Structure 1
């Protein structure tokens, strides 16, 4: 869909919106929560408000509304009167608000009822039911008319107001510009309202007939980004470099579904950019550079992987439309490779600074360049052109820094501190940078020392990005041999924070989890539960990291706004514990996840590179394999089974949504010298990360073997959509699809099981779960961790021990089970627990047992995750015998419908990556072998070792030919010594052989 082509850079922004309202009145302009506002409604309401404002050309109107539909309507109304708007943050310190309003000298203040008040200045509040005014005609303005005012940092100690014209914004969003903006574009409105980035987000949409999704969180968190993409089709976002880095670190899958991402505002981190490009190669990533005096962007650069390896950092790029960029040494243009000051010209330039003309004259100059007079803005940034005409950043010519995208003049902060703290005669503010070169914090060095309570005074009066993290007393400021401030020596006087005394762990596991998350984000071993996060040193992006990690750990959305409302670990845990659980999703919100799916999703969100949820299958295929038929079979299986073509989303409620995603391609590997090499090549390819939040649930590949018609076919499926019983269903349906694709006929397959039907089958089990909840909690409370013998090292050969058990051994196990009135599983578990107790020296521990939950007949032929984990606490097992273990397992199996995450909360957290309930799993695998019966071909299933383990020791028994069992003990070498795993396997096998010889007690 194309935007209305009639507006130009000489058209007022409000006039372009009015044109869209006339041509497409029903198109959605704004979305806020459940409210959608069409262009027709937005334009009519803005007309009504404008008629009652009483402002006009030449007026600069401050607006102190929060980010909302009302804010957008109000600024549009101001423009319709011919005036310019200035968006001020009502949360600014009172002194900064007063100073900004003084510079504007406005006729009135647009505010909400009970909002900001300025003595002597009339307040205008948006009417609840605006009525149209007959005869009102919006003002027609040209591109050079004042449009808005942005306030930025100034060296004099007061904010600097930058007045920009309509054309400065309009030039950026015409067809053919630096990015794709159209009537189909959907962009979240999330930037702080005083920024020019707010203009980028808003006007890129409104000038092209797209949709603006208003975010009610403090900033665009990973959670709100996923929600915008999933609910509203958000396809384009702007992020500061710091926020981009945070999402890449904490929730890189959140970008899935976007078409383009614009980043900038401060130095980019090549490492974060490279990780993003590897994870999302299909998303356009743009670096945007430009000071507010040239309105939003002056240059942009589409980033490619080679850019991340440039020694000078990622380029700034080329000029955007309507903008000239010059690198000058005084008035002389610099040659490629020569460093000079970046100077800007063109339609993006501001008209002036508010205040005395000399402020404007100091930065905006007119020079003759190439024989013509040219008005320039001198940025103070240093740069150089390369031979290809691409601009590169080379530092600053002054002290200005960027903090989380905010432009900060240290001189302004110094003047404010000296004014607010009269006891400080003089102050110097320096930036401390991280390893990537970005500003981490401001430090204020004071002569003499600041008085007690000074930090509280500064917190109340300064903007968050102006607040120093420390006030450091010095006797005098060191200078260099040239008599200049020795910044390096001064920074050396600032000691890193001393190691804080460990705070006691809280008894409540949820409070403990939140406090540990606070500490992990802030790099502290522990934090007190009753101290606000900001008082602990946490900033806005730190808050985002906390909420992203809690969202992943708890499997539910934790908005950043909730952390601001409940700022201590105690308070936030209280909200988490008392807030109602998410309501069942409506039909268009997908199907709820089961508790085990939540566990797998949480693991994925915490570590997107996790391979512990990869279910890997491989078959050797002998004969002439029809590649096209196999690809067709894969596509048919993908179509039939909704779990394989669903996105598993944590927000706004954990749910699975069927998405229109292509089936996985059959990937072909280079020919391999043998079957073993082919298997290894497949394991390497299929071990790459899956992303179930983006519908990347399964993959397939084929490796052919040299010297004959032999190949190895493999697939990997994420555990969130798969389990052991699903293996044979997948194999059967692949075989049926293959035969059909080759023209064969098979009996009609039963109707596939939908996600909704599978969840209903699970929900029907829950009626009796509550009765077992308390007893299980009591049983598991206080259970100790397993303590492995010392000596964990890299193993000599692999991380698995295998011992076959003959059919006669299995018969002896069954005979003892029958004589004792218990199951085969109970006898084998007794043997395992006894062996574990002997090797570790413990007689009290918990073992995890996977349990299939496919009782409903419809699930017999379903692909999906239909399991749970049962924690069995085993105490004094060597004395209890198989009868006691049998009774224990019966009680546990009766309680299998208690949601597993509820049991995890009983145990709280463990240091490192240890599971909070158990560190070992024991499973008797009785799933059918997944036989891939392809007509005319011989196929053999090869059971593969796990790609990675979620726990420290996995012990399983698999069916073997002739009625025997194969014992496999997988272990994590960094936790369990190889000799320990071998000894446990040996003792288990010896104990089962003892049963055969009749020597068991």
Structure 2
């Protein structure tokens, strides 16, 4: 191949454009170009013709390598590799090249209206694969060759394998899908993969198991989602998850960081990490080095630096400068990214100096898109392009706002069609809106938020009638779900409806799961409407056998009918809602039903946007504006009460003092009868500089699962994301929960449960409280990941869950410490039986009593087995409301709760993470202000150590002495260690 290229004019120093798909031909051509001492530029045949022309003109090549018919004639002659791999060119010896010679050219977005060519040398790529680098690259490395061809990540995938004799696996899809990755791991032994952050998020959300079997996962290109990273690490704690950061001017990666579970709780977010080999990173203000923790511009030096920008010496001189650092003149690249560096040299990201944004991993300058629109579109006098986060798509998208030229005339042109001819897909705005003028902030800057808020919501599309074909219906449902639409016309292309490639991948995953067979992304591109893809599914062997009948596929959003339930107001209370309302009315000063949440925030917080987010969540969830009343009977009624204001408190010097200020504020009573259910507040903090954001919600409308829903919806609203599918209304929620309850012989079942707990003895704590003891005490201890793993192994060997093993150990120490072998504990159980309820805020729980006696309190294997039997029996009757049991049992001691005095919970709720653009947040779990029971034992996953557990014991000081609580906690910890040791032996 090198001989053939040389015969047609390719020489050392030439820049050769290549427009070939991922193939053996492509890799051979790259190697041949390099053997001649030339550099390659991988281009995308799907780029608009005008962009291809502009790029080839900048390269000034002797030829363009392409397959026949791939592109029309360009400014250089097209050259095609022989299909049989043969040719008449003379054999050529490899040309000697230096590490500083040009290797490849990458084109990225520029502010001038045309793409910038970045010329990088051989040493820039080779430095990534030196010994001791950030990942394992050797002859055993097997990695998909899946990145977009013009992107520098393609170099990472290709040379990570070939540089050390490893293996690349070619894919035919537009990008790597979950199904393709799973097959590659199984069929070809893929062990390493690179994913953009948005693609990583997609796989974690839609098909986490597709990431099984990998030893190394590199992610980056966009901001990382702590929630998705946390889910991955929970499932794959032993897989190396590496955050890679770097501009193309520093070739692929500048810094990397092996992510741990502890990083998910860092106040500064997941770090960018430390420099890769042959690279230096400085944080500068001007030419001055910043102290540890001081923000500045991230600047890069070393072997990874590009030569500069093709044909743009002025821009090269501006961005690649020389600075005196420690007495040495250093050439460096100014990234435009803001960051800090700690004492260990770890870099953290703090935002951008300019407007640049990443769109699906591609660097985009909004100014370039603005100039293109102004030049290409008639009647546009001025244009501003604003990025908008699309949660469903998992990426930023662009919205263009245009001021019309009043002097022009005629009909408005088809702007999307014009831009499609000139801009690559990731640079095209998803919306184009005309405005009279651009709104400004008080400081005279463009008000991006006001512009985005002015975009009208797209009308709901409809079709001519119900979809009768169940396969077409299935596809249309999946399209609607990922696009956020109510309905989808079956004959309209997914992409004409606004779908992106990542949304298409989500749709393929969902359709494949329901249809029982994989749906490659390329098939959706080929059969892009619901009708066509449904027909393809029907022709695919084995689909009909696993499809539900048409009657089992209700239209999106339909709910089980119930003529007995009202649709708007005066809804019956759930048993637990009635419990909390009764407690509020009988003990209005009790604060055990107040759920407190706090986050520590750092960065550029927009207080107005946060208050607007609170209002949006208040409007989204009916339960937050619902009055819970007893006149004339207990019922719930949705009101139009306004959202609580975001109260701004005086600054506090420390986080602890800010927490104290919030607690004092939130001591003010909530009034569920008046739909006064929640409050929010913000406290400036001096050291470290930032804020403490807090809220309190009454338990009557809130539970543990609601925490993550509330945090997610606040994040969406703050970021201006498109609304997700609306949560069920209060009436719909009642119908969903009612439909899930078994009603057969309900009266008899309730009576049998009452009989079981009628004579349960009350716990007599061994030591009474001291005189005048009040308030709530809290103790905690940690269980290491290795112990947790052995507990799980012990449970598996005995055929029980982790919950049963933990409860058995608790029953053992309770029996010993209290001197009684018969008692009950309460276990909170989520009642989110329908998928729609996972999106709801509310008190969707029941309390299930478990009576522990006999062998269950004796420890050992017999104790674990008997505890498992008792738990199974208790949970099989969890549909019996606890209130019905308690009313029939009562208590013999005034002031003591009926049935049980302690709670035992293994918490598995998703952590409530706030993801606010430009802000780093950390959730600070607060201890309970008061307890409804005398003692709570809760076991939480340790967010800072994958696999470890946090055990938190809370107790009422007026009932349980601290010495007793400490004895119980230490004894519980010791018994877990004994069970684990038995598993190990």
Give the shorter-chain TM-score range.
Answer: 0.5 to 0.7
Deviation of 1:238 (Å): 0.6
Say whether 1:399 aligns with 2:484.
no
Work out whether residues 112 and 367 of structure 2, in 8 Å CA contact, stay in contact via their aligned partners in 1: yes
Cα displacement string for residues 970-1001 of structure 1 (whole angstroms, at most 9, x for unaligned residues): xxxxxxxxxxxxxxxxxxxxxxxxxxxxxxxx
1:796 counterpart (881, 889, 893): 881
- Matched residue, 1:575: 536
- Aligned mates of 2:866, 2:327 — CA distance in 1: 67
Q: Does residue 505 of structure 1 match 2:460?
A: no
Cα contact 1:679–1:712 (8 A) shared by 2: no
1:89 maps to which residue?
44
Aligned to 2:265: 309
CA distance in 2, matches of 1:67, 1:455: 29
Matching of residues 590-989 of structure 1 within 5 Å: 671-673=809-811, 706-707=857-858, 711=862, 795-797=880-882
Paired position in structure 2 for 1:230: 186
Shift in CA distance, 337/631, structure 1 to aligned 2, threshold 3 Å: closer
- Aligned pairs for 1:219-618 (under 5 A) are 219-434=175-390, 440-448=396-404, 451-501=412-462, 504-581=465-542
1:174 aligns to what?
Answer: 130
Q: 1: CA distance between counterparts of 2:156 and 2:822?
A: 53
Residues 1-25 of structure 1: CA deviation (Å, up to 9, x unaligned): xxxxxxxxxxxxxxxxxxxxxxxxx
CA distance in 1, matches of 2:59, 2:884: 70
Report what 1:155 is aligned to: 111
Secondary structure of 1:534 counterpart: coil
* Alpha-carbon distance in 2 for matches of 1:113, 1:715: 73
Shift in alpha-carbon separation, 1:677–1:421, aligned structure 2, 3 A: farther
Aligned to 1:942: none
| Partner-residue secondary structure (3-state), 2:380 | coil
Q: 1:128 to 1:483 in 2, by over 3 A?
A: same
- Structure 1 Cα separation of the partners of residues 284 and 161 of structure 2: 35
Residue 360 of structure 1: how far off its partner (Å): 0.8
Alpha-carbon displacement from aligned partner over 1:63-88 (angstroms, at most 9, x marks no partner): 00011111111111111111000000
Is 1:130 aligned to 2:85, yes or no?
A: yes
Hey, what's the Cα distance between the residues in 1 that align with 2:506 and 2:464?
21
Deviation at 1:556, TM superposition (A): 0.6
Q: Distance in 2 between matches of 1:530 and 1:199?
A: 40
How far apart are the structure 2 equivalents of 1:427 and 1:298?
34
Instruction: Give me the whole-angstrom Cα distance separating, in 1, the residues matched to 2:822 and 2:65.
Output: 71
Counterpart-to-counterpart distance in 1, 2:866 and 2:514 = 28
- The residue number in structure 1 matching 2:10 is 55
Per the TM alignment, residue 369 of structure 1 is displaced from its structure 2 partner at its CA by 1.0
Pair 1:476–1:708, CA change in 2 (3 A)? closer
Provide the residue aligned with 2:62 in structure 1.
107
Q: For the residues of structure 2 that align with 1:176 and 1:547, how far apart are their CA atoms?
A: 39
- Highest RCO, 1 vs 2 (Cα 8 Å, sep ≥ 6): 2
Contact 1:669 1:704 in 2 (8 A): no
Distance (Å, rounded) in 2 between the aligned partners of 1:248 and 1:474 = 39
Relative distance call for 1:291 and 1:107 in structure 2 (3 A) is: same
Quick check: which has more Rg, 1 or 2? 1
Shift of the alpha carbon at 1:439? 5.1
Structure 1 match to 2:971: none
Q: Classify 1:373/1:494 alpha carbon distance in 2 versus 1 (closer, same or farther; 3 Å).
A: same
Which residue of 2 is the match for residue 952 of structure 1? none
**Deviation of the 1:318 alpha carbon:** 0.6
Q: 1:431 to 1:500 in 2, by over 3 A?
A: same
Contact 1:682–1:714 (CA<8 Å) still a contact in 2?
A: no
State the Cα distance separating 1:134 from its structure 2 match.
6.2
Rounded to whole Å, the distance in 2 between the matches of 1:52 and 1:713 is: 79
User: Are the structure 2 counterparts of residues 149 and 527 from structure 1 closer, same or farther at C-alpha, using a change threshold of 3 Å?
Assistant: same
Instruction: Specify whether residues 709 and 570 from structure 1 end up closer, same or farther in structure 2 by C-alpha distance, changes over 3 A only.
Output: closer
CA contact (8 A) 2:855 2:866 kept: no
* TM-score normalised by the chain length of structure 1: 0.56
TM-score, reference length from structure 2: 0.57
Q: Contact (CA 8 Å) 1:48, 1:130: kept in 2 or not?
A: no
1:186 aligned to 139, 142, 149, which one? 142
Residue 78 of structure 1: aligned partner: 33
Partners of 2:795 and 2:403 in 1: CA distance: 77
How far the C-alpha of 1:457 sits from its partner, in A, is 2.1
Cα distance in 2 between the residues matched to 1:280 and 1:196: 27
In structure 1, list runs of 5 or more residues that go unmatched: 1-45, 583-592, 598-611, 613-627, 639-663, 685-702, 718-791, 801-1001
Query: Can you list the C-alpha shifts for 1:606-651, whole angstroms capped at 9, x where unaligned?
Result: xxxxxx9xxxxxxxxxxxxxxx9x999999x99xxxxxxxxxxxxx
CA separation of 1:267 and 1:84: change in aligned 2, threshold 3 A: same
Q: Deviations over 1:192-229 (max 9, x none)?
A: 10000101111100101110001110111101110110
Local SS of the residue matching 2:397:
strand
C-alpha spacing 1:475/1:141, structure 2 compared with 1 (3 Å): same
- Residues in 2 aligned to 1:565 and 1:436: alpha-carbon distance in whole angstroms: 22
Match of 1:766 in 2: none
SS of 1:248's equivalent?
Answer: helix
Alignment of 1:191-206 (within 5 A): 191-206=147-162
How big is each residue's C-alpha offset from its partner over 1:130-166, in whole Å with a ceiling of 9 and x where there is no partner? 3486652111211001000000000011010000000
Secondary structure of the corresponding residue to residue 97 of structure 1: helix
Q: Is the 8 A contact 2:216 2:240 kept in 1?
A: yes
Distance 2:39 2:450 in 1: 47
- Distance in 2, matches of 1:436 and 1:117, equals 36
Q: CA deviation at 1:330?
A: 0.3
Superposed CA RMSD in Å reads: 3.9
Q: Is the 8 A contact 2:56 2:74 kept in 1?
A: no
Contact 2:256–2:272, Cα closer than 8 Å, also in 1? yes
SS at match of 2:496: helix
CA distance in 2, matches of 1:264, 1:797: 48
- How many Å separate the matches in 2 of 1:384 and 1:288? 16
Tell me the SS of whatever aligns to 2:323: strand
Evaluate the alpha carbon distance shift between residue 495 and residue 336 of structure 1 in structure 2; reply closer, same or farther with a 3 A threshold: farther
Structure 2: gaps spanning 5 or more residues = 406-410, 549-739, 741-789, 816-820, 830-853, 869-876, 886-985
Q: Is the CA contact 2:293–2:342 (under 8 Å) kept in the aligned structure 1?
A: yes
Alignment check: 8 A CA contact 1:445 1:471 kept: yes
